[in-house]
């Protein structure tokens, strides 16, 4: 017993900001951004918060499976840009879609968040206690970045995507390989909260923007992700021909090319939408997953295997292989 992925969905805010739009408000250019990252545009929310994007993705998923929200047993939202410290974004999604019987929580593993959440959801379903679980990745990175810092602002976008896990005889789980290294947390920091109480030593600044050592993250990803892909394939007893697609976190197209070379898997196996969405952190894998389902490049209900892999702040990195039963 276990679960299968029985539906997918995503939602992107309507407003599109191109590289040329950015060049009007900061010292950058379409040439610099597209050459170094592969990004040409990103969707930026006007007034929708993370829970709004997540709820719209959730409603799309339910529509695609033709079930109602009150049938959902649990909702996990992967995000590093939650609406609030509390309540969780997942609880806000519960309210917005009317998933009255679900239990709900967030997972923060930055750009690896969807892999962490999918793993958690799949293993919850293996308990045989639940019928339906919603796993969503959702971010409003536009509220985390400093729009005066060209080295980060041009990279990120907003969006949400997700999948429905549904109880079945034949489990979709094949293998996983998941890691963290808190010792290197300084390479990507967002929304820093400092101690501020009558009893703390200092009353410092309460909040700060996202900062990233892009070179350090690039180097970490190029070392860790190929090893992880090899390890998860070994654990799943898989060879290249067994994989229909690799859906990697969309951080930088050059990075994906370098990973593909290093792991000696053809770049055509690596799906990508980064040109249109930028880096949407925990949302990037499920948005791309749904787009591949919609375009029929992957098909639910087949036995095709898909490898998903994320890497980012924490540091965190993880890979999971599922069969599209
Ligand atoms: N426009 C124009 N010039 C710029 C811009 C910009 N937007 N940003 C930086 N520059 C300049 C810099 O100032 C620097 O100029 P200098 O040489 O005169 O000092 C020059 O361009 C090169 O800057 P670098 O930072 O060295 O550029 P690099 O080639 O390393 O590319 C990038 C930067 C794209 C961020 C790359 O390092 C990268 O993709 N890293 C990985 C990021 C990643 O994977 N993040 C995922 C995790 S995100 C998460 O977990 C939420």
Alpha-carbon Rg for the chain, nearest whole angstrom, is 19
What is the Å distance from ligand 1's center to 149 Cα? 11
Q: What share of the chain is helix, strand, coil (3-state, %, to 5)?
A: 40, 25, 35
Q: Rounded distance, CA 37 to CA 185, Å?
A: 23
Count each helix (H run) and each strand (E run) in the chain, helices first.
10, 13
- Would you say the CB of residue 211 lies under 6 angstroms from ligand 1? no
Q: Please, are residues 54 and 10 in contact by the beta-carbon 8 Å criterion?
A: no
- Would you say the CB of residue 91 lies under 6 angstroms from ligand 1? no
Taking only the tens place, the pLDDT of each residue in 18-56 is 999 999 999 999 999 999 999 999 999 999 999 999 999
Which atom of ligand 1 lies nearest, measured to the CA of 28?
A: 1
User: What is the per-residue pLDDT for 261?
Assistant: 98
Kindly give the parts of the chain with pLDDT less than 70: 202-207
Nearest CA to ligand 1 atom 29: 36
Taking only the tens place, the pLDDT of each residue in 111-148 is 999 999 999 999 999 999 999 999 999 999 999 999 99
Positions annotated as catalytic residues are 111, 249, 279
Which atom of ligand 1 lies nearest, measured to the CA of 151?
A: 8
What is the Å distance from ligand 1's center to 151 Cα? 5
Cα 70 to Cα 75, 103, 121: the distances in Å are 11, 11, 18
User: What is the per-residue pLDDT for 204?
Assistant: 63
User: What is the per-residue pLDDT for 205?
Assistant: 62
- Would you say the CB of residue 28 lies under 6 angstroms from ligand 1? yes
What is the Å distance from ligand 1's center to 155 Cα? 9
The whole model's pTM is what? 0.96
Q: Please, are residues 167 and 125 in contact by the beta-carbon 8 Å criterion?
A: yes
Residues in contact with 104: Cβ distance below 8 Å, sequence separation at least 6, in sequence order: 74, 75, 76, 77, 88, 90, 91, 93, 94
User: What is the per-residue pLDDT for 1?
Assistant: 85
């Amino acid at each position: 017993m276990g679960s299968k992925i029985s539906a997918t969905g995503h939602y992107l805010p309507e407003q599109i900001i191109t590289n040329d739009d950015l060049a009007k408000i900061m010292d950058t250019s379409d040439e610099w951004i597209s050459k170094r990252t592969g990004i040409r545009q990103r969707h930026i929310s006007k007034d929708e918060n993370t829970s709004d994007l997540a709820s719209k993705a959730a409603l799309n998923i339910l529509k695609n499976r033709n079930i109602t929200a009150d049938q959902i047993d649990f909702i996990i939202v992967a995000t590093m840009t939650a609406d609030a410290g509390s309540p969780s974004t997942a609880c806000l999604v519960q309210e917005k879609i009317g998933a009255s019987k679900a239990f709900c929580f967030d997972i923060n593993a930055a750009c690896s968040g969807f892999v962490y959440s999918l793993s958690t959801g799949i293993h919850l379903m293996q308990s045989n206690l639940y019928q339906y679980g919603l796993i969503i990745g959702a971010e409003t990175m536009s509220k985390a970045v400093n729009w005066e810092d060209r080295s980060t602002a041009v990279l990120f976008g907003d969006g949400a995507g997700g999948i429905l896990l549904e109880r079945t005889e034949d489990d979709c789980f094949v293998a996983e390989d998941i890691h963290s290294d808190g010792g290197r947390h300084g390479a990507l920091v967002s929304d820093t909260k400092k101690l501020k109480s009558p009893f703390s030593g200092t009353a410092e600044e309460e909040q700060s923007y996202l900062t990233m050592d892009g070179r350090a993250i690039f180097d970490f990803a190029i070392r860790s992700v190929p090893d992880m892909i090899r390890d998860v394939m070994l654990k799943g007893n898989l060879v290249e021909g067994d994989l229909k697609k690799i859906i990697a976190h969309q951080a930088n197209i050059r990075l994906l090319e370098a990973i593909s070379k290093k792991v000696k898997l053809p770049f055509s196996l690596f799906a990508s939408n980064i040109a249109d969405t930028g880096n949407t952190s925990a949302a990037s894998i499920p948005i791309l997953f749904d787009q591949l389902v919609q375009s029929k490049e992957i098909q639910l209900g087949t036995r095709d295997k898909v490898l998903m892999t994320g890497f980012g702040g924490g540091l965190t990195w993880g890979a999971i292989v599922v069969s599209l039963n």
